[in-house]
């Protein structure tokens, strides 16, 4: 008797009666069944709002980032159990690596995003602040805060682990509880993932819930502060987008839909070039990895008409060497489709695509999956079609979500771009070329139609992650048919789950709200140098106004000798007089160095290191005889909850530095970033 999958609702596992049987994609044997019991979505949402949300908001961005890192480590430690379940989906070990370790890798990436790019607390000052009055008493800026709602993530069948985690990571980081709904066909793997997460005890209660089966009245119960994301077919995305309650409540809806992605071989590439083989390899890989069940797979291979025969021959030869069968067999390089229903769907789509196209490679070329019991599996032969007159071919409208691609010839680059455009918006496109000029010509019009573009040549190939690999720090999504949404993209993904608000007020009030000093706000000056204060004792607004220093010709000469910078503006009296400044001026970096000499407290103390400058601007020139003075102010504090090798805690402090001249005019402005020790 197979196991009955359970939903994880309100902190408990729900479901005991079997409903829909789920079969192994490899041999057709039953793997599990969904549960027959209905999920109480009112309870699920109440739990998310009353338990999950308060628990998440007790933590700040930095603490939630640390939890993501701990969860990533846990999943890596228990990955083999997930690989064992993943095999039933038809995935090879490499396919599983993309899904399982790609998922934990995304958690690691967002732990880094939170730790490095987000502040302490639960408010992001997006900035920059802008003055809204002439006297400096009124300003405006933008802030980002948690939405205080629930995120519902509806996922496709092809990546049961990564699909959940790549949405969960930025959602959790943003302080939003999440309800995940995986596609039923492979939900047994997602359930195994969530069980492992639950058993770890790492997540706060209510942070993550799981729905096995349908969504019932879940979408009807959502409110304006909630968010819905979807990954799957363009048709389903279109239906969900106009769900009456989502429209009525203006609930943000993000879709990442399957698209008819393309790869273009540029006319400068010949069969003798390394790039030619790179193109063939990329198309073949995207046909066979995950058995072509990737929203980013290459569905249209657009090639110069003169190279059509050569590309077709090399692709055919490469596909002929691909061993298909049970992933447990070490020789297998392509597994099964995720379900028997999916195999039937792909067969129907291939029949549509075959009208008006030639078959270059298919099951007729000797398709025989290897392994015991594979006759009952959901295997499908790699299928390469050729549309010699591609302008109106079905491949621009019909997607076979499996190991299927269509070759299309073009006569010039304008036609190649036009063929790409017929896909009506894609997640990703690849241009294979040796010519920078070709890349510069083709990428801009392609960019209007694609969420991501890979320009592939022999130099990039050394480290390229490939056409079909979304990366945590880059946007995943695309216009038009691809859904019009965005996922991933580093901190961008986190901001999708935060509310952006314009904030107006005095500099002092904006400083109090954002926790970030805005010039013009009230300062706290004391006899103790700010660099003598430990992280806990520093307050935003702690400030030091330094003594003054008059710049001499000797300073400029000495700095030129030390730096080797003999630019004419510093040393040529005649040329300097003819310049817009009308005189010799000091090096900008001398001004920075002199300012450091004014505000640095030289003895050992809590400030451990200066690791960079931000927002540096040289506002006005400093000439011989000018007198400069610096104001150093604690601008921002970030507690990253880290300790050094001796167990001493550290925090990051950004200092606002304003260097002014004898007239009170600012001559240089910048932020200094420092590591500051805690008391313990």
Domains of the chain, each with CATH number or no CATH: 43-258 (3.40.605.10), 261-473 (3.40.309.10), 523-677 (3.10.129.10)
Cα–Cα distance measured from residue 532 to residue 565, given in angstroms and rounded to the nearest whole number: 34
Closest CA relative to residue 26, chosen from 240, 324, 237, 304? 324
Cα–Cα distance measured from residue 288 to residue 332, given in angstroms and rounded to the nearest whole number: 11
* Helix (H/G/I), strand (E/B), else coil: 2: coil
Which residues have a Cβ under 8 Å from the Cβ of 58 and sit 6 or more positions away?
204
* Helix (H/G/I), strand (E/B), else coil: 495: helix
- Residue 611 — pLDDT band, cuts 50, 70, 90? confident
Just list the catalytic residues: 256, 295
- CB 148 within 8 Å of CB 500: no
What angle is formed at CA 68 by the lines to CA 63 and CA 73, rounded to 5 degrees?
125
- Percentage with pLDDT > 90 across the chain: 82
Average pLDDT on 449-467 reads 94
Cα–Cα distance measured from residue 412 to residue 419, given in angstroms and rounded to the nearest whole number: 11
- How high does pLDDT run on average in the chain? 93
Instruction: Give per-residue pLDDT as tens, 467-500.
Output: 988 899 999 999 999 999 999 999 999 999 999 9
Angle between helices 436-447 and 413-421 (to 10 degrees): 30
DSSP E strands, 312-446: 358-361, 383-386, 404-410, 426-432
Model pLDDT, residue 447: 94
The distance in angstroms from the start CA to the end CA of the chain is 57
Average pLDDT on 399-403 reads 94
Q: Which residues pair with 4 in a beta bridge?
A: 33
Which among 42-56, 555-569, 636-650 has the top mean pLDDT?
A: 42-56
Tokens of 543: 């400030």
3-state SS string over 416-463? HHHHHHCCCCEEEEEEECCCHHHHHHHHHHHHCCEEEEEEECHHHHCC
- CB 36 within 8 Å of CB 18: yes
Whether 44 has a pLDDT exceeding 80, the answer reads: yes
Cα–Cα distance measured from residue 476 to residue 596, given in angstroms and rounded to the nearest whole number: 43
Average pLDDT on 111-136 reads 90
Residue whose tokens read 């139609």:
449
- Percentage with pLDDT > 70 across the chain: 100
Model pLDDT, residue 258: 85
Which is it for the CA torsion 301, 303, 308, 313, positive or negative?
negative
Cα–Cα distance measured from residue 432 to residue 439, given in angstroms and rounded to the nearest whole number: 9
Model pLDDT, residue 645: 79
Model pLDDT, residue 679: 86
Model pLDDT, residue 360: 95
Cα–Cα distance measured from residue 384 to residue 397, given in angstroms and rounded to the nearest whole number: 17
Q: What is the largest CA-CA distance in the chain?
A: 94
Tokens of 128: 């920059």
Residue whose tokens read 């451990």:
608
Residue whose tokens read 């279109």:
238
Instruction: Give per-residue pLDDT as tens, 154-193.
Output: 998 889 999 999 999 999 999 999 999 999 999 999 999 9
Whether 640 has a pLDDT exceeding 90, the answer reads: no
Average pLDDT on 459-470 reads 92
Cα–Cα distance measured from residue 317 to residue 320, given in angstroms and rounded to the nearest whole number: 5
Closest CA relative to residue 451, chosen from 418, 417, 482? 482
Instruction: Give per-residue pLDDT as tens, 297-330.
Output: 999 999 999 999 999 999 999 999 999 999 989 8
Whether 105 has a pLDDT exceeding 90, the answer reads: yes
- Residue 622 — pLDDT band, cuts 50, 70, 90? very high
Residue 617 — left, alpha, or beta (φ > 0 → left; ψ -120 to 50 → alpha)?
beta
Q: How many CB atoms lie within 10 A of CB 536?
A: 16
Model pLDDT, residue 234: 83
Residue 253 — left, alpha, or beta (φ > 0 → left; ψ -120 to 50 → alpha)?
beta
Model pLDDT, residue 98: 92
Model pLDDT, residue 421: 95
Average pLDDT on 254-266 reads 93
Whether 643 has a pLDDT exceeding 90, the answer reads: no
Strand pairing of 298-304 and 261-265?
parallel
Instruction: Give per-residue pLDDT as tens, 338-380.
Output: 889 999 999 999 999 999 899 999 999 989 998 888 888 999 9
When mean pLDDT is compared across 422-426, 510-514, 640-644, the lowest value belongs to: 640-644
DSSP state of 409: E
């Amino acid at each position: 008797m197979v196991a009955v999958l359970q939903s994880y609702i309100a902190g408990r596992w729900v479901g005991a009666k079997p409903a829909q049987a789920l079969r192994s994609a490899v041999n057709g044997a039953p793997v599990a069944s969904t549960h027959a019991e209905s999920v109480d979505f009112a309870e699920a949402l109440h739990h998310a709002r009353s338990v999950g949300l308060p628990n998440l908001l007790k933590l700040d961005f930095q603490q939630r980032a640390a939890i993501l890192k701990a969860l990533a480590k846990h999943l890596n430690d228990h990955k083999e159990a997930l690989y064992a379940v993943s095999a039933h989906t038809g995935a090879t070990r490499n396919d599983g690596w993309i899904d399982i370790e790609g998922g934990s890798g995304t958690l690691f990436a967002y732990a880094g995003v939170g730790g490095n790019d987000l502040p302490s607390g639960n408010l992001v000052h997006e900035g920059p602040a802008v003055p809204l009055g002439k006297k400096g008493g009124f300003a405006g800026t933008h802030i980002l805060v948690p939405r205080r709602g629930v995120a519902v993530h509806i996922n496709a069948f092809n990546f049961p682990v990564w699909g959940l985690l790549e949405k969960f990571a930025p959602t959790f980081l943003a302080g939003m509880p999440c309800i995940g709904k995986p596609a039923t066909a492979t939900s047994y793997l997602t359930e195994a993932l969530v069980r492992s997460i639950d058993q770890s005890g790492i997540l706060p209660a209510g942070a993550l819930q799981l729905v096995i089966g349908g969504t019932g009245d879940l979408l009807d119960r959502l409110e304006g502060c909630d968010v819905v994301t979807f990954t799957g077919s363009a048709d389903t995305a279109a239906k969900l987008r106009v769900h009456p309650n989502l429209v009525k409540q203006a609930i943000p809806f993000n879709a990442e839909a399957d698209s008819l992605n393309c790869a273009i071989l540029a006319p400068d590439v010949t069969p003798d070039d390394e790039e030619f083989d790179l193109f063939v390899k990329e198309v073949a890989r995207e046909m066979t990895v995950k058995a072509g069940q990737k929203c980013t797979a290459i569905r249209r291979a657009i090639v110069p008409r003169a190279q059509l025969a050569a590309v077709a021959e090399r692709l055919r030869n490469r596909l002929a060497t691909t061993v298909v069968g049970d992933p447990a067999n070490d020789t297998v390089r392509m597994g099964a489709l995720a379900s028997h229903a999916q195999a039937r769907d792909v067969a129907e789509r291939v029949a549509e695509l075959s009208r008006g196209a030639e078959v270059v490679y298919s099951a007729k070329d000797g398709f025989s999956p290897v392994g015991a019991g594979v006759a009952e599996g959901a295997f499908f032969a790699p299928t390469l079609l050729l549309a010699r007159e591609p302008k109106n071919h079905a491949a621009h409208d019909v997607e076979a979500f499996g190991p299927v691609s269509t070759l299309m010839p073009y006569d010039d680059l304008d036609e190649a771009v036009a063929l790409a455009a017929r896909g009506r918006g894609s997640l990703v496109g690849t241009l294979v070329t040796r010519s920078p000029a070709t890349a510069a010509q083709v990428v801009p019009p392609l960019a209007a139609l694609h969420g991501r573009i890979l320009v592939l040549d022999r130099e990039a190939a050394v480290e390229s992650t490939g056409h079909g690999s979304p990366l945590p720090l880059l946007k995943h999504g695309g216009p038009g048919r691809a859904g019009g949404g965005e996922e991933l993209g580093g901190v961008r993904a986190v901001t999708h789950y935060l509310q952006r608000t314009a904030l107006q007020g005095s500099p002092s009030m904006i400083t109090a709200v954002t926790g970030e000093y805005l010039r013009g706000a009230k300062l706290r000056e004391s006899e103790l140098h700010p660099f003598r204060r430990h992280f806990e004792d520093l307050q935003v607004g702690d400030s030091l106004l330094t003594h003054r220093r008059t710049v001499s010709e000797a300073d400029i000469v000495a700095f030129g000798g030390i730096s080797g910078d003999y630019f004419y503006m510093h040393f040529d009296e005649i040329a300097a007089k003819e310049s817009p400044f009308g005189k010799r001026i000091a090096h900008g970096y001398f001004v920075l160095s002199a300012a450091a000499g004014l505000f640095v407290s030289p003895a050992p103390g809590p400030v451990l290191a200066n690791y960079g400058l931000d927002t540096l601007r040289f506002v006005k020139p400093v000439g011989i005889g000018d007198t400069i003075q610096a104001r150093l102010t604690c601008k921002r504090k970030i507690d990253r909850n880290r300790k050094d090798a001796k167990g001493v805690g550290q925090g990051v402090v950004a200092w606002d530095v304003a260097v002014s001249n004898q007239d009170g005019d600012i001559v240089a402005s910048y932020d200094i970033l420092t590591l500051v020790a805690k008391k313990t």
